[in-house]
């Protein structure tokens, strides 16, 4: 059973460009969350997708957008890249058992984005 997979592994972009990162959730999972981990910091929540809609959002500008597809895979898009967007972007998936249940998040290996 494959876990959470992300592509690409590494990416180098220049300021002002746009980037798309991809995530395939663990088999059977229907919810995907994205986190940004800057160097030397803990991960910060960007947003979460469930049933193809953004359900929660962290404190990130509108330059960060996402999408979830019918097969539950997800994309993270970042427009007008800034140097400060350089980070490890982590995707986490889970199965939505219900609002009264705890749902464990499983993390992928991340995509390392470098903005020059």
The dihedral through the CA atoms of 37, 38, 40, 45 has a sign that is negative
d(CA 35, CA 64): 11
We find the least distance from the C-beta atom of residue 16 to another protein, in angstroms, to be 28
d(CA 62, CA 44): 16
Give the range of 19-27, 69-77, 79-87, 94-102 binding another protein by CB under 8 A.
94-102
> Among 7, 97, 114, 116, which residue sits at the site for another protein (rule: CB under 8 A)?
97
The CA dihedral of 34, 18, 5, 92, to the nearest 10 degrees, is 0
Q: Give the footprint of another protein on residues 14-53 (CB under 8 A).
A: 31, 33, 35, 40-45, 48, 50
Query: Which residues form the interface with another protein (CB under 8 A)?
Result: 4, 31, 33, 35, 40-45, 48, 50, 55-56, 58, 90, 92, 94, 96-110
């Amino acid at each position: 059973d494959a876990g959470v997979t992300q592509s690409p592994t590494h990416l180098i972009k220049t300021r002002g460009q746009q980037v798309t990162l991809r995530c395939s959730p663990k088999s059977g999972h229907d919810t995907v969350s994205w986190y940004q981990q800057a160097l030397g910091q803990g991960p910060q929540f960007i947003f979460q997708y469930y049933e193809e809609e953004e359900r929660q959002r962290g404190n990130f500008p509108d330059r960060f957008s996402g999408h979830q597809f019918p097969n539950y895979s997800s994309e993270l898009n970042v427009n007008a890249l800034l140097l400060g967007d350089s980070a490890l972007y982590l995707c986490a998936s889970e199965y939505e058992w219900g609002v009264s249940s705890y749902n464990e998040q499983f993390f992928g290996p991340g995509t390392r984005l470098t903005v020059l």
